[in-house]
Amino acid sequence: MKRIVSVLLILFLLLGCTVETVSSAVDFACDTVVTIRAYTDQRTVDDAMRLIRDYERVLSKTVQGSDVWNLNHANGEPVTVDPETAQLLQLCQEIGERSEGAFDVTIAPLSALWDFTAEQPSLPDAKRLSEAATAVDWRNISIDGNTVTLRNGAQIDLGGIAKGYIADRVAAFLKDRGVRCACINMGGNVVVFGGKPDGSAWTIGIRDPQGTAEQSEEILSLKDGAVVTSGNYERFFELDGVRYHHILDPKTGMPVDNGVASVTIEADCSALADALSTACFVLGPEASKSIVTHYDVRAIFLMTDDTRVELP
């Protein structure tokens, strides 16, 4: 009897030592709903959420005093930015070049002319759009260490990459704190690591572009990595039966209308996946082949005619 009790006690202690709990937090940040689930204590998850807001204060174009705000209000003068901002802008330039300008982080003068959430949305003036388009060129960003200069009236908008970048940083933060597994979801920008606590893969749904937010067209299983979707249903309005959504052709400033409804990118790095989801949306399946191969990612295109294209 004594032996049984001591064996049970040892078992109990062993289990007690390894039992961690899943903690989670939900908040509205970076203009979207953020969910963090991690196999750790609540404090660590709350710290991770705070980290997101710290990054938002640096990368948002609307927060006064952020790096992006400072750059956009510097009238072409050099601005000293956070080393991480400089690095992120470098990645933006690289993807700008690789996508032949389909992803262009200097889209700000164009995106500023659209208000997709207005109560009575309207189309921007065509002349203003074509004028604004002349300032859009990622080559107008000069980076020298932590000093960034925007030339020729360029302004930046990190909306196509910031959430992906921040999700990567949150995953790194959690790993640094010794967390074994987690799932970070920033409005469809998902990063997972370590699988679920029971060892199985995380499941990530790709939304049916014709359905509601809850309807998945397909489900991906992943233990480690990032899955990011850009869709024509995220931010849009409809006027006279035409849908105007927030992914813009940098050359015209008009919403991309090429038969793509959504692009999902699966990659190791979520900043890359985020930027590529936007780039591939603009490029369409055929023209995306070389960039998908170059970065060694997987791309799933759901088209407006209900067909599906997967690359590579």
Residue 115 makes contact with ligand ADP by CB under 6 A: no
CB half-sphere exposure, 185, CA atoms < 13 A: 15
* Closer residue to ligand ADP in complex, CB, 95/148: 95
- Can you name the residues that pair with 36 across neighbouring β-strands? 25, 184
Task: Find tokens 């997709």 and name the residue.
Answer: 116
Instruction: Tell me how far the alpha carbon of residue 89 is from its chain's centroid.
Output: 15
Closest distance between Mg ion and the C-beta of residue 157, in Å?
12
* Closer residue to Mg ion in complex, CB, 93/277: 277
Q: Is 227 helix (H, G, I), strand (E, B) or coil?
A: strand
- Exposed (0-12), middle (13-18) or buried (19+): which is 77, by Cβ within 10 Å? exposed
Residue 56 makes contact with ligand ADP by CB under 6 A: no
The contact pattern for ligand ADP, residues 233-272, with x = CB under 6 A and - = no contact, is -x-----------xxx-x----------------------
Judged by CB under 5 A, which of 96, 160, 188, 225 binds Mg ion?
A: 160
Binding part of the chain for ligand ADP, among 21-29, 44-52, 157-165, 170-178 by CB under 6 A, reads 157-165
Instruction: Tell me how far the alpha carbon of residue 224 is from its chain's centroid.
Output: 16
Binding part of the chain for ligand ADP, among 33-41, 98-106, 216-224, 283-291 by CB under 6 A, reads 98-106
15 Cβ neighbours under 8 A, 6+ residues apart: none
Question: What Cα–Cα distance (Å) separates residue 265 from each residue in 269, 285, 290?
Answer: 10, 12, 14
Closest distance between Mg ion and the C-beta of residue 67, in Å?
19
- Can you name the residues that pair with 311 across neighbouring β-strands? 299
Judged by CB under 6 A, which of 23, 93, 111, 232 binds ligand ADP?
A: 111
Residue 208 makes contact with ligand ADP by CB under 6 A: no
> Distance between CA atoms of 156 and 104, rounded to whole angstroms?
9
What is the number of other CB atoms lying within 10 angstroms of the CB of residue 4?
8
Closest distance between ligand ADP and the C-beta of residue 248, in Å?
4
Task: Find tokens 């992906």 and name the residue.
Answer: 164
Residue 229 makes contact with Mg ion by CB under 5 A: no
Residue 278 makes contact with ligand ADP by CB under 6 A: yes
Closest distance between Mg ion and the C-beta of residue 159, in Å?
8
Judged by CB under 6 A, which of 58, 71, 159, 244 binds ligand ADP?
A: 159
Instruction: Tell me how far the alpha carbon of residue 252 is from its chain's centroid.
Output: 23
- If contact means CB under 5 to 8 A according to the sort of partner, which of Mg ion, ligand ADP, none does residue 311 touch? none
Judged by CB under 6 A, which of 39, 69, 103, 193 binds ligand ADP?
A: 103
* Closer residue to ligand ADP in complex, CB, 171/283: 283
> Distance between CA atoms of 21 and 9, rounded to whole angstroms?
21
Question: What Cα–Cα distance (Å) separates residue 247 from each residue in 24, 57, 142, 160, 302?
Answer: 31, 23, 25, 9, 15
Residue 85 makes contact with ligand ADP by CB under 6 A: no
Footprint of ligand ADP on residues 5-44 (CB under 6 A)?
A: none
Residue 157 makes contact with ligand ADP by CB under 6 A: yes
Whether the link from the prior residue into 209 is cis, omega within 30° of 0, is no
Please, what is the end-to-end C-alpha distance for the chain in angstroms? 63
Residue 104 makes contact with ligand ADP by CB under 6 A: yes
Contacts with Mg ion by CB under 5 A lie at: 160, 230, 274, 277-278
Contacts with ligand ADP by CB under 6 A lie at: 103-105, 107, 111, 157, 159-160, 163, 188, 230, 234, 246-248, 250, 274, 277-278, 282
